[in-house]
């Protein structure tokens, strides 16, 4: 939310500086994200008077002006504005000034052969509005030679982040109230312009949907004159990032931004019959002010007349009944809408607005009458007209929350000692009614404070106004002795894997747990997605069923920005919806290797991409670090439709327990994520790794190297061409567990000398004697056991 210092001082009597006010807002929980000073943008622009204006000798549409800047001799300026003339006072940008609208630095130059010392500026060029038909014309009493920024009264602009639980601060007045309570000044009372009431309201106003719109207040004002807003109003809206439209529209926006109270003005001539808050009919349509057509459903609240819908209630008005320059009679609407209904409607329609932001968080139900009176007074004061009596259809919520509060609770919960009288003053300055005659106190929260639920919320109010910085930092009490470990086995496992992944040269990424639905469905594998009813955006609606899609989206962002090689991993949770509707989440490690494994060079020529074996190497190493029995893992297919069928596999303990999947991603997956480089991926299911046995005693045994030297023996087998080499390696290693400590494949060959349908696999077997060295008969017995075990897979020892 943005607002200027000038606007803030409309409601807060203060001598504090911009820096002091910003520090105070941060201190009381209103985070200042930035401060803009428009005066800096207007540096170098001066109030100047045109002394003479003569036709350019070589251009029909240009004039040569003699301009007085109040600093010596007049300057010569070439200007093409049609309203430039002798005697007028305008704004001159001198050499060195930067034009705010386009960032161009002004310099002394020659235009069609005539020297020009700067530029006479228009409203649009200085970003003060949209007018650009001519240069700015200032009043005759404007001080020539003065800085235009000082003359214009440019005020610093605060950009404040308002948390969703503080809708009472979504207006400048609410922020002023908090600052006054924090001792930064005095809150000014709201100035209500006076107006006369002339007769009953000529339009029937009612609410037929009390659940969605419990209160609908309104009145008619006839004989208004719409047009541009006065400077003070336009400047305040511009400081908030709003474009002034017309007086009637701007005043409704002003009420919303100043007091957090959305309102709407209808052109009465475009309405027919009664104006009603009701439920929409399924299939009804409305063209909103953003010129888009929305199809409504029966659970949405709308404002309609006898002809149809004119307003998506509490979110956006309709284009048909909006005010224009020709509007002379208006119907004002100020209502209280159900926050839940507003949020549901906005999400269904994908329609966001400043009004929705306030209504779905909860506006002040006690400000309907005052809001209507204030808006009526401003319109009649600035646009003229006569106001009818107000119509009150329904009633807003009026049950204030009453809380039993013990002031001693502030010390106990907040950790800070605040005098009892100071606590009472703070609460009262924020609008709470405090009955301190009882013990404990009875505190009644103002209706605008929807976030107040109990005593803890009152402690928060006291502490933040008293000063969070004054809360002492106190260490938690700790018992004597060595602290017991608090990390769970799962946390320890994740720490080991995280360190191992980083040690292998992978960069850790942290991606959203939410995904766009299409990307999530691509990795759902037929499961039921866990989708959110209230997502942070429509592009973040599905909880991720896999770690890979988030990493792929991160890879795409980096590749699109020129990254040639990417090695990223993430440890997080996959989320699923069980058949009974309950949620299910599983710890998972994802790895993505994208682009080049090695750049092109004199030895390799072309760049070397990552392949499925690189993914397998990462999977095996990280599984071992996670505690999986890597030597027992089986390589099997069916990694998933997202992977290339010939370049991917799973790692399993038995046929059903899948610990990981790895391989090259399918071209269709890369196409779905719009990635133009080769990508391999790994997904390790940490929850599937069996825990260690032995009651949690994981101490390592003392290192005791064998006394005798190991023995190497090579075996070459002819095996079926479709037999996985890993299966042969595993069965050979298990042929004699007492003597064989390792088996390593060092050659695979198919071709000349090898029968068709066969391949040759050579394995190096490491034997380790224990008590005595091997004899020939010992080695022969071991070799026979190796050959016999390999024979179970159809392997034959090569001659």
Confidence of residue 698 (pLDDT cuts 50, 70, 90): low
Does pLDDT of 630 surpass 90?
A: no
Mean pLDDT, the chain, whole residue set: 91
Whether 329 and 269 have beta carbons less than 8 Å apart is answered as yes
Per residue in 738-755, pLDDT (tens digit) is 999 999 999 999 988 899
- Strand duo 205-207 + 2-4: pairing: unpaired
Q: Does position 581 have pLDDT exceeding 70, yes or no? A: no
At 137-164, the pLDDT tens digits run: 998 888 999 988 888 777 899 999 999 9
pLDDT at position 693 is: 66
Q: What average pLDDT does range 19-38 have in this prediction?
A: 92
Tell whether 303 is covered by a domain.
yes
* Boundary residue ending a domain (367, 394, 421): 394
326 and 230 assigned to the same domain = yes
- The set of residues, in sequence order, having a beta carbon less than 8 Å from that of 755 and lying 6+ positions away, is 718
φ, ψ at 31 (rounded to 5°): -70, 120
Please indicate, yes or no, whether residues 791 and 740 belong to a single structural domain of this protein.
Answer: yes
The mean per-residue pLDDT over the stretch 521-548 comes to 88
Q: How large is the C-alpha radius of gyration of the chain?
A: 38
Q: What is the CATH number of the domain that holds 135?
A: 2.40.50.140
Judged by DSSP in three states, 64 sits in strand
> Of 442, 427, 685, 694, which is closest to residue 576 (Cα–Cα)?
685
Does residue 767 have a cis peptide bond before it, meaning omega lies within 30 degrees of 0? no
For 723-741, how does the pLDDT look when each residue is reduced to its tens digit (9 = 90+)?
Answer: 888 889 989 999 999 999 9
Q: How many angstroms separate the Cα of 76 from the Cα of each of 52, 71, 126? A: 10, 13, 21
> Do 358 and 224 share a structural domain?
yes
pLDDT at 462: 95
Residues 683 and 774 in one domain: no
Chain centroid to Cα 558, Å, comes to: 19
Q: ω into residue 440 within 30 of 0, thus cis?
A: yes
Q: Tell me, yes or no, whether 22 lies in a domain.
A: yes
| 668 and 604 in a common domain | yes
Q: Tell me what pLDDT residue 745 has.
A: 93
Residue 59 falls within a domain, yes or no?
yes
Tell me, what's the pLDDT at 173? Answer: 97
Q: What is the CATH number of the domain that holds 744?
A: 3.30.70.380
Query: Domain end: 340, 362, 394, which one?
Result: 394
Consult the annotation and say whether 451 binds a ligand. Answer: yes
Q: In the chain, how many domains are there?
A: 6
Token representation of residue 88: 């007028």
pLDDT score recorded for residue 484: 80
Q: Which has more confidence, 581 or 566?
A: 566
| C-alpha–C-alpha distance, residues 459 and 413, integer Å | 7
The predicted model gives 277-306 an average pLDDT of 94
170-221 pLDDT, tens per residue? 999 999 999 999 999 999 999 999 999 989 999 999 999 999 999 999 999 9
CATH number at residue 390: 3.50.40.10
Token pair belonging to 174: 């609410």
Same domain, 45 and 73: yes
Describe the chain by its helix, strand, coil percentages, rounded to 5.
30, 30, 45
656, 640 Cβ separation under 8 angstroms: no
pLDDT for residue 697 is more than 70: no
The dihedral built from the CA positions of residue 664, 667, 670 and 676, taken in this order, carries a sign that is: positive
Predicted local confidence at residue 434, as pLDDT: 95
- With a cut of 90, say whether residue 781 has pLDDT above it: yes
Q: Give me the CATH number covering residue 8.
A: 3.30.56.10
**Same structural domain, 669 and 779:** no
In a domain, 698, yes or no: no
φ and ψ of 265, to 5 deg: -120, 125
Is residue 500 classed as helix, strand or coil in its secondary structure? helix
pLDDT for residue 166 is more than 80 = yes
Residue 694 scores a pLDDT above 70: no
In this predicted model, what pLDDT tens digit does every residue of 417-461 receive, in sequence order? Answer: 999 999 999 999 999 999 999 889 999 999 999 999 999 999 999
Q: What is residue 267's predicted lDDT score, i.e. its pLDDT? A: 95
Same domain assignment for residues 373 and 406: no
Assess whether pLDDT exceeds 90 at residue 601. no
Residue position matching structure tokens 């209507």? 372
* Residue range 103-130: mean pLDDT, rounded: 88
Of 374, 394, 414, the domain-final residue: 394
Q: For residues 407 and 396, is the Cβ–Cβ distance under 8 A?
A: no
Given this model, what pLDDT does residue 101 score?
Answer: 84
Tell me, yes or no, whether 763 and 783 share the same domain: yes
Which of 609 and 482 is assigned the larger pLDDT?
609
pLDDT class for 632, splitting at 50, 70, 90? confident
Query: Taking Cα atoms as reference points, which of 193, 253, 203, 248 lies closest to residue 390?
Result: 203
Q: Is the pLDDT of residue 696 over 70?
A: no
Within-domain flag for 748: yes
Can you say whether the dihedral through the CA atoms of 147, 150, 151, 155 is positive or negative? positive
Would 693 be classed as within a structural domain? no
| 401 neighbors 458 (Cβ within 8 angstroms) | no
Query: Using 50, 70 and 90 to split pLDDT, how confident is the model at 471?
Result: confident
Q: 333 in a domain, yes or no?
A: yes
- The domain that contains 614 carries what CATH number? 3.30.930.10
Query: Where in the sequence is the domain holding 173, given as residue range(s)?
Result: 2-37+156-187
Same domain, 22 and 47: no
Q: What is the mean pLDDT of residues 551-574?
A: 95
In this structure, the answer to whether residues 48 and 23 fall within a common structural domain is no
Residues 234 and 356 in one domain: yes
Q: Is residue 478 part of a domain?
A: no
């Amino acid at each position: 939310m943005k607002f200027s210092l000038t606007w803030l001082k409309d409601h807060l009597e203060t001598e504090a500086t911009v820096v002091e006010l910003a520090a105070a807002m941060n201190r009381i929980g209103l985070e200042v994200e930035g401060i803009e000073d428009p005066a800096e943008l207007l540096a170098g622009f001066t109030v100047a008077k045109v002394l003479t204006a003569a036709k350019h000798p070589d251009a029909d549409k240009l004039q040569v002006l003699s301009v007085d800047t109040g600093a010596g001799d007049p300057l010569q300026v070439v200007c093409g504005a049609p309203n430039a003339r002798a005697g007028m006072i305008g704004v001159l940008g001198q050499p060195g000034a930067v034009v705010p609208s386009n960032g161009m630095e002004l310099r002394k130059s020659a235009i069609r052969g005539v020297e020009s010392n700067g530029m006479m500026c228009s409203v649009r060029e200085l970003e003060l509005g949209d007018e650009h038909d001519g240069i700015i014309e200032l009043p005759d009493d404007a001080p020539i030679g003065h800085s235009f920024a000082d003359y214009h009264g440019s005020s610093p602009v605060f950009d404040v982040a308002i948390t969703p639980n503080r809708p009472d601060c979504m207006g400048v007045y609410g922020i002023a109230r908090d600052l006054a309570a924090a001792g930064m000044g005095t809150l000014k009372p709201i100035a209500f312009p006076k107006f006369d009431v002339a007769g009953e309201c000529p339009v029937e106003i009612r609410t037929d949907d009390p659940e969605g719109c419990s209160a609908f207040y309104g009145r008619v004002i006839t004989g208004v004159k719409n047009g541009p807003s006065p400077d003070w109003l336009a400047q305040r809206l511009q400081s908030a990032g709003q474009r002034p439209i017309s007086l009637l529209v701007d005043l409704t926006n002003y009420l919303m931004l100043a007091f957090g109270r959305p309102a709407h003005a209808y052109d009465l001539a475009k309405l027919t019959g009664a104006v009603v808050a009701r439920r929409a009919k399924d299939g009804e349509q409305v063209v909103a002010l953003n010129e888009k057509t929305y199809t409504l459903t029966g659970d949405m609240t709308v404002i309609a007349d006898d002809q149809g819908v004119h307003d998506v209630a509490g979110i956006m008005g309709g284009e048909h009944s909006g005010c224009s320059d020709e509007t002379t009679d208006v119907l004002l609407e100020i209502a209280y809408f159900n926050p839940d209904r507003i949020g549901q409607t906005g999400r269904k329609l994908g329609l966001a607005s400043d009004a929705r932001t306030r209504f779905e968080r909860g506006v002040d139900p006690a400000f309907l009458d005052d809001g209507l009176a204030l808006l009526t007074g401003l319109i009649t004061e600035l646009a003229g007209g006569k106001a009818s009596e107000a119509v009150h259809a329904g009633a807003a919520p009026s049950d204030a929350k009453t809380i039993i509060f013990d002031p001693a609770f502030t010390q106990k919960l907040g950790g800070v000692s605040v005098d009892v009288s100071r606590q009472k003053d703070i609460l009262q300055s924020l609008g709470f009614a405090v009955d301190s005659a009882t013990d404990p106190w009875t505190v009644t929260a103002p209706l605008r404070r929807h976030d107040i639920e109990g005593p803890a919320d009152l402690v928060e109010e006291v502490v933040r106004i008293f000063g969070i910085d004054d809360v002492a930092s106190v260490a938690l009490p700790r018992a004597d002795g060595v602290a017991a470990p608090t990390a769970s086995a799962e946390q320890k496992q994740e720490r080991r894997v995280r360190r191992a992944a980083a040690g292998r040269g992978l960069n850790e990424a942290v991606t959203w747990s939410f995904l766009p639905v299409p990307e999530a469905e691509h990795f759902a594998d037929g499961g039921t997605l866990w989708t959110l009813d209230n997502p942070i955006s429509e592009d973040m609606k599905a909880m991720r069923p896999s770690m890979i899609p988030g990493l792929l989206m991160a890879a795409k962002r980096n590749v699109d920005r020129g990254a040639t090689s990417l090695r990223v991993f993430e440890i997080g949770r996959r989320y699923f919806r069980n058949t009974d509707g309950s949620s299910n989440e599983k710890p998972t490690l994802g790895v993505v290797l994208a682009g080049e494994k090695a750049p092109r060079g004199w030895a390799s020529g072309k760049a070397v991409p990552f392949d499925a074996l690189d993914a397998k190497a990462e999977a095996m190493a990280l599984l071992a670090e996670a505690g999986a029995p890597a030597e027992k893992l089986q390589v099997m297919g069916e990694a998933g439709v997202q992977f290339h069928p010939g370049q991917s596999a799973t790692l399993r303990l038995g046929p059903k327990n899948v610990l990981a999947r790895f391989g090259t991603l399918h071209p269709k997956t890369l196409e779905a994520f719009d990635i133009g480089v080769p990508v391999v991926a790994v997904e390790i299911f940490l929850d599937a790794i069996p825990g260690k046995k032995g009651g949690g005693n994981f101490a390592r045994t003392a290192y005791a190297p064998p006394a005798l030297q190991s023995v190497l023996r090579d075996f070459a087998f002819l095996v079926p061409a479709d037999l996985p080499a890993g299966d042969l390696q595993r069965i050979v290693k298990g042929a004699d567990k007492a003597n064989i400590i390792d088996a390593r494949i060092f050659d695979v060959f198919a071709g000349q000398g090898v029968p068709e349908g066969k391949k040759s696999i050579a394995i190096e077997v490491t034997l380790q004697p224990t008590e005595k060295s091997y004899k020939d008969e010992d080695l022969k017995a071991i070799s026979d056991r190796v050959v016999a075990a390999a024979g179970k897979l159809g392997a034959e020892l090569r001659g």
